[in-house]
Structure 1
Amino acid sequence: MKPTIAKIYIENLRANLRFIRSKIRTGAKMCVAVKADAYGHGAVVCAREAVACGADFLAVARVSEGIELREAGISVPILLLSLCDRSEMDDLVSFGITPLVFDSEYIGEVAAAAGRAGKRGFSVHLAVDTGMGRIGCLPENAVSLAREIAGSGVLSLGGMCTHFSTADSFDDGDVEFTDLQFRRFLKATEDVRSAGIDPGIRHCANSALTLARPETHLDMCRPGIIVYGYYPGDIRGSELKPVMSLSTKVVAIRRFAAGVPVSYGRTWTTSCPTNIGVLPIGYDDGLFRRFAGKLSVAINGKAYPVRGRICMDQCMVELWDDDVPRWSEAVVFGPPESGALQTAEELAAMTGTISYEITCQVSKRVERVFVG
């Protein structure tokens, strides 16, 4: 086994999925986001566990991510949350990946691909931009676009969706804006229904609203980061369990005198004779340079600080004492059972980011080891 690994605690993943399913309104579906390699946790394994725990849909951000799931034998509906290139349209259709659409040109491209494949009734979901400013039609254009879908001859309107920009914030203004977005979305779906077109599966609840606002569940929820054990924004609780730990090993220990600089730029120098451990993990593995000066790793239950700049493939830690043997495990972050000093969320807070970025940036060259 490689020294640097991301350990994925499958039982924690299952516990999170069971908890989320219990929070979703009876009768509403669950669409589990496994985009970005399941937020760095391994898409195929996590997708299989999600389906086993009751996921009705899976969500990806790239056509290639959907193809990976299909080639792994996963047959549940897969929703593509981002737009794809024209060159990917034929694969989109042939692998049965459900796209979001929101303008005439894109609807026409998907319809043409469905026509080439002879796929009558190919399902698409109409995205409505209620205030995110990313993708989606304006609410007042939803009816005309739904008519285009219905009149295409090859497409069917399988659902309508929107995405919230401030759903994870308890700030009064943000709560009001979320309420406004929700009202706009409901009106758009009602307008489509009033025009004689079934809006299909209405979905808008992300991780935050899945936990905090059951009235937004409608026909389906789309949990993301909560699947992997972290609460979004201002949402807090104690039920979720972090799923990933990141660890490496002490591959060398060097004894230095006082006054020896460590790593690039000589940003840190030993102040007294000390031991320096070398870890084979760096920013290409997801251990960002900005962590230097803030991060300590856990070795045998004790904290040892990273010293000097983090390199592309390696970093150095100061070992306070002589009882750390070579090849000892050094845990960067993870759930309590990993022996880590901090979770990805706590590491994110130290460095001004979010837990999503920490887990997503654990690179592909870090081996995923699935346990439990």
Structure 2
Amino acid sequence: MRCTKAVIYKDNLKYNLEQIRRHVRPKTEICVAVKADSYGHSAVLTAKTAHEVGGINYFAVATVDEGIELREDGITENIIVLSLCVPEEFDSLFSYSLTPFTFGEDYISALSEAADKFFKKDEKFPVFLAVDTGMGRIGCYPDEAGNEAKLIEQSAHLHLKGMASHFCESDSVTTECQNFTHLQYEEFCRAVENVQAKGINPGICSIGNSAAIMNNHDMYFDMVRPGIITYGYYPDQITKEYLQSRHEDFDIKPVMALETQIVAIRHFPKGKSVSYGRTYFCEDETDIAVLPVGYADGLLRRFSPGLEVTINGKKYPVCGRICMDQCMVNIGKDNPEVHLWDKAIIFGPEESGALTTADDLAKTGGTISYEVLTSIGKRVKRIVK
């Protein structure tokens, strides 16, 4: 097996899911985001671990193929498809009992026509009405919600199972962003009321994401949708320290460690350049360790300079540009603590021995932990520990 691998700490995953279940009100449904292969952590593993925890009845994917993978691995809980599908995928939605987001007269009509051809008399297919309360992505406007819910309910084979929207700034603690989050909540309430005014049951209503679960307890509605907190990272400014300042305690643990091994140690004289573009020159005589991990594995090129990896309990800087399949680390001259074949940990939880997290990498690269985690490529084998 290739030495570059992602180690998934299942106990940490289970711990996070238990924390979410404990934190959320007992009657509130939980829909765990397992899209993008659970942010790179294995959607099937997450779903099966959630089943062990209990009380989690929904999973959210981004594509029909992701939903099919879960079904074919024996996941029987409700699966919601968050992104819009194309007509060629409608039959798969029906066949695998995947619940889609829908909105807009043309889209609802196309889905209804496909359902008419697929289902027998009196059979109903559940859908969620997507509502745009400020995200500016998909969804009808609140004033349109009543009429679009009516279109769904008038269809011979569609049924309104629920309504959903998505916060765009709930992970920021500034007054402006929190005010906009409250405005989105109010807009969603108005959309639900417009559906009710048509005499239609809005079903399961959902808007709360990871940040809202921890910071906006009054915005849960019927179902929350935890994403990044499932995998052990806090969303932007809603940090553990911030929550503690508000007398809240929400503890989570990173789930993934990215690790590899030293495959070469080379002596470099003062002034020798390292990697593409000759952006790095050795200031003194030193030794350079070569690691077989690069941007094709998800170690993004922009992480250097700044990235430090952990080797035997100490951090060492990556030097020069990260290559597609390799990177180089300055370990200092004649370092007795670093040897050929030693493990090098890019990021991970404390249990892995890492001194760096995906959040640290994100800050180095000017991005977010979500991108760090989901960038870990398929050729990096996932090992469950």
Normalising by structure 1, report the TM-score.
Answer: 0.97
Report deviation, 1:351: 2.0
Q: Percent identity?
A: 51
Residue in 1 that maps onto 2:22: 22
Residues in 2 aligned to 1:98 and 1:248: alpha-carbon distance in whole angstroms: 39
Cα distance per residue 1:102-151 (max 9 Å; x no partner)? 11111122222222221621000001111111000010111111111000
Task: Give structure 1 stretches of 5+ with no counterpart.
Answer: none
Report deviation, 1:291: 1.0
Structure 1 segments of 4+ aligned residues over 6 angstroms from their partners:
none
Residue in 1 that maps onto 2:342: 328
Choose from 346, 350, 365 the match for 1:351.
Answer: 365
Residues in 1 aligned to 2:383 and 2:162: alpha-carbon distance in whole angstroms: 36
Residue in 2 that maps onto 1:179: 182
Choose from 203, 228, 232 the match for 2:231.
Answer: 228
Residues in 1 aligned to 2:366 and 2:281: alpha-carbon distance in whole angstroms: 26
Cα distance per residue 1:293-316 (max 9 Å; x no partner)? 101111101111111111000011
- 2:142·2:194 contact (CA, 8 Å) conserved in 1? no
Residues in 1 aligned to 2:175 and 2:269: alpha-carbon distance in whole angstroms: 56
Report deviation, 1:191: 2.0
Report deviation, 1:341: 1.6
Q: Specify the SS of the correspondent of 1:232.
A: coil
Choose from 243, 251, 264 the match for 2:276.
Answer: 264
Q: Specify the SS of the correspondent of 1:348.
A: helix
Amino acid at match of 2:303: F
Is 1:97 equivalent to 2:74 in the alignment? no
Amino acid at match of 1:256: F
Report deviation, 1:347: 1.6
Residues in 2 aligned to 1:266 and 1:131: alpha-carbon distance in whole angstroms: 46
Report deviation, 1:93: 1.2
Residues in 2 aligned to 1:36 and 1:338: alpha-carbon distance in whole angstroms: 23
Residue in 1 that maps onto 2:73: 72
- 1:168·1:235 contact (CA, 8 Å) conserved in 2? yes
Residues in 1 aligned to 2:375 and 2:114: alpha-carbon distance in whole angstroms: 34
Residues in 1 aligned to 2:71 and 2:358: alpha-carbon distance in whole angstroms: 30
Residue in 2 that maps onto 1:199: 202
Residues in 1 aligned to 2:51 and 2:316: alpha-carbon distance in whole angstroms: 40
Residue in 1 that maps onto 2:290: 278
Amino acid at match of 1:55: I
Task: Give structure 2 stretches of 5+ with no counterpart.
Answer: 241-249
Amino acid at match of 2:315: A
Cα distance per residue 1:60-89 (max 9 Å; x no partner)? 001100000011010111001111122111
Residue in 2 that maps onto 1:46: 46
Is 1:140 equivalent to 2:143 in the alignment? yes
- 2:312·2:337 contact (CA, 8 Å) conserved in 1? no
Residues in 1 aligned to 2:165 and 2:277: alpha-carbon distance in whole angstroms: 47
Residue in 1 that maps onto 2:263: 251
Q: Specify the SS of the correspondent of 1:337.
A: helix
- 1:93·1:113 contact (CA, 8 Å) conserved in 2? no
Residues in 1 aligned to 2:315 and 2:173: alpha-carbon distance in whole angstroms: 34
- 1:25·1:214 contact (CA, 8 Å) conserved in 2? no
How many residue pairs were aligned? 371
Residue in 2 that maps onto 1:37: 37
Q: Specify the SS of the correspondent of 2:191.
A: helix
Q: Specify the SS of the correspondent of 1:175.
A: helix
Residue in 2 that maps onto 1:319: 331
Normalising by structure 2, report the TM-score.
Answer: 0.94
Q: What root-mean-square deviation, in Å, do the aligned CA atoms of Structure 1 and Structure 2 show?
A: 1.1
Residues in 1 aligned to 2:146 and 2:268: alpha-carbon distance in whole angstroms: 72
More displaced 10-residue stretch of structure 1: 235-244 or 324-333: 235-244
